[in-house]
Amino acid sequence: MLDIIVSGLLLSGTYALVAMGLNLQYGVARIMNLANGEVLVLGALAAFWLYTTAQISPLLTVILVIPVAFIGNWLIYRFLLTPLVRRSKSQGQLEVDSILATFGISFVLIGIMVSIEGGFFAYKYLSEPISILGSTTSLNRFIAFLIACAIGIGLYLWLNKTRSGVAVRAVAVSTEASGLVGINVPRISAFAFALGGAITAVGGALISTFITLDASIGVVFTLKALIIVIMGGVGDIRGAIVAACILGLVETAVATLIDPGLTLAAAYLIFILILLFRPQGLFGRAST
């Protein structure tokens, strides 16, 4: 039982790292970013490459990745996505356009990554067994969990307790209304997109220490992130965190008590059930 809780929470940490970034990008900047998984894998590639060629600890890479990913994603938003934002006359059209454009971006990123490393990013870091409350698990997962918690709490505090955070939440609620009260919506959107990308890349770097990734596996993480973000409800960071917890615990419980083969099916089932009973997700606003 304890095993389930401990492993489940650690898995939740992993899922939170995967989903929090997309929550910002979609909730605030309104970009359905299908390249989210590839940004994650880019972070992983950075950690793998720096560790295997220069023995730089992935924890250090995490710090290096933050500004690089932030700037990279900001540039993507500013130059590739802003034209779409400007020309779209409705939220629906922006969604369609961002799906098409980010799908293209994901292919470009895969192409770039494959030319750097076509094979598996096989390395392990801090793969030491540790015991938490009597349950055995690995140090790298625990560290990822701690960092995920830190990011989650940090985001929550920033979004709810600071002026800039409130501005971001305002944009998440309504771009029009925010604009009317003098919030610089394009700047906030770009910032949120960039921050989301940075978080995702950090997540990727951390995850790569215990999951063997390769250049093409991004789509699996994009799908997961989409499920978590929508299940949690768009626009509220708590939604993504709670959804990640639910999924992590459910998957681990099903794997231990029922059958590991049904983990993903069960996860999706929970997702479907939640949406059926709460069509706007756990923390989402009921759509008008």
Q: Measured between alpha carbons, how far is 247 from 1 in angstroms, rounded to an integer?
A: 16
Q: Are 145 and 9 in contact (CB under 8 A)?
A: yes
- Least CB distance from residue 159 to another protein, whole Å? 20
| Residues within window 193-222 making contact with another protein, judged by CB under 8 A | 207, 210-217, 219-220
Regarding 82 and contact with another protein (CB under 8 A), the answer is no
For 42, the token pair is 């880019």
Using alpha carbons, list the distances in angstroms from residue 40 to 99, 188, 199.
18, 22, 9
User: Which of 20, 234, 243, 282 touches another protein by CB under 8 A?
Assistant: 234
Nearer to another protein, 67 or 260 (CB): 260
Nearer to another protein, 54 or 181 (CB): 54
Regarding 264 and contact with another protein (CB under 8 A), the answer is yes
- Least CB distance from residue 20 to another protein, whole Å? 16
Positive or negative: CA dihedral 139, 141, 145, 150:
positive
DSSP code at position 214: B
User: Which of 20, 22, 34, 194 touches another protein by CB under 8 A?
Assistant: 34
Regarding 107 and contact with another protein (CB under 8 A), the answer is yes
- Least CB distance from residue 201 to another protein, whole Å? 18
For 29, the token pair is 């900047």
| Residues within window 49-68 making contact with another protein, judged by CB under 8 A | none
Regarding 7 and contact with another protein (CB under 8 A), the answer is yes
Q: Measured between alpha carbons, how far is 186 from 205 in angstroms, rounded to an integer?
A: 29
Q: Measured between alpha carbons, how far is 250 from 200 in angstroms, rounded to an integer?
A: 23
